[in-house]
Chain A
Amino acid sequence: MAHIVIDENRCKSCYICLNTCPKGLIKKSQKTSKLGDYLVEFVDPKKECVGCALCAARCPDMAIVEVHK
């Protein structure tokens, strides 16, 4: 099943992925990083993710560590 895995240790809350996912499946999380910035989370209740990996391609910190199709 298509999904992504986010490494919260690598995420620096730049939010490029929020604008990138064509389905808007990546959202600001309520969880914060060590620096106090809101992290991001993958929310896909309707199973809309197709594993296009655009988010991973644009993530400057390789925080989206896995994409499955």
Chain B
Amino acid sequence: MQVFKIPESIKKGARFTFCPGCDHGIIVRILAELIDELELKEKTICATSIGCSVFLYDFLNIDCIESPHGRAMAEATGVKRARPDKFVFTYQGDGDFASIGLAESMHGALRGEKVTGICINNTTYGMTGGQMGPTTLLGQKTTTSPMGRFTGTYGYPIKVAEQIALCDGTAFSARVAVDSIAHINQAKKVLKKAFEIQLKGLGYTFVEFLATCPTNWKMTPEEAHDRVKNEMIPEYPLGIFKDITAEDK
């Protein structure tokens, strides 16, 4: 019996162009599996973003619009308001979602847009070669914080899932990781929950994924996963920060 196959909504013969060991691949696969499981392919429109996540439409066999940097939530809003019966999600990095696009992201949440935001937090700008991003941890060395991020110059990292949970239009906000089998399974469940809440039309749903960037962290993939476990999760705790369906019970 075949217990694993490439998801149907992955394009035939698609090969990820992410760096070796990058968690983006796992997240895209989870996403594709859920699109299959929930039979969303025929009603989904995705707003992709700029950065490593830009080539999503090369991998997923769904309708996608590429958004200018930071504007994925605005595109998603436009799509959803024009076609309220469609299933709409954004797929963005932390720089796109929480730095250049923070205004769009926050206001989308505040308006309670019935879309799902997916933010891949790898604490750096990956595509451009590892600069300091909004989620770069204190002490973390990047090409633009070579002495490490210290607050006097660089300020503090943003805890995205917690911030989004504070918005009244948010129906669901959670943070997950994909560094271990347990976390991957949990992440899929959480993302499924978010998708289901969107399908019920209850408000904005958001999932932040802690992810690795082995290339720019200058680590092997497994060292990078250790960093997620030992450095990121203590700062960015995993969990569901808001779930209006849980409060109903």
Which residue of chain B has the shortest Cβ distance to A65 in the bound complex? B6
Do residues A62 and B1 form an inter-chain contact, with CB atoms below 8 A? no
Residues on A with beta carbons closer than 8 Å to the beta carbon of B16: 10, 60-62
B-contacting residues, A38-69, CB 8 Å: 51, 53-54, 56-62, 64-69
Q: Separation in Å of the A40 CB from the closest CB of chain B?
A: 12
Interface mask (B28-48 → A, CB under 8 Å = 1, otherwise 0): 010000000000000000000
Interface residues on B, range: 20 to 34
Q: How many A-B residue pairs have CB under 8 A?
A: 73
Which residue of chain A has the shortest Cβ distance to B30 in the bound complex? A57
- Expressed in whole angstroms, the Cα–Cα distance for A10 and B181 within the complex equals 21
A residues apposed to B, CB below 8 Å: 9-10, 12-16, 19-20, 37, 51, 53-54, 56-62, 64-69
5 tightest Cβ-Cβ pairs between the two chains A and B: A60-B25, A14-B21, A67-B4, A12-B20, A14-B20
B residues apposed to A, CB below 8 Å: 1-6, 10, 15-16, 18-26, 29, 181, 184-185, 214, 220-222, 225
Q: List 28 A-B contacts (CB under 8 A).
A: A10-B15, A10-B16, A12-B20, A14-B21, A14-B221, A15-B220, A15-B221, A16-B221, A51-B1, A53-B3, A56-B4, A57-B4, A57-B26, A57-B185, A58-B26, A59-B25, A60-B16, A60-B22, A60-B23, A60-B26, A61-B15, A62-B6, A62-B16, A65-B6, A66-B5, A67-B2, A68-B1, A68-B3
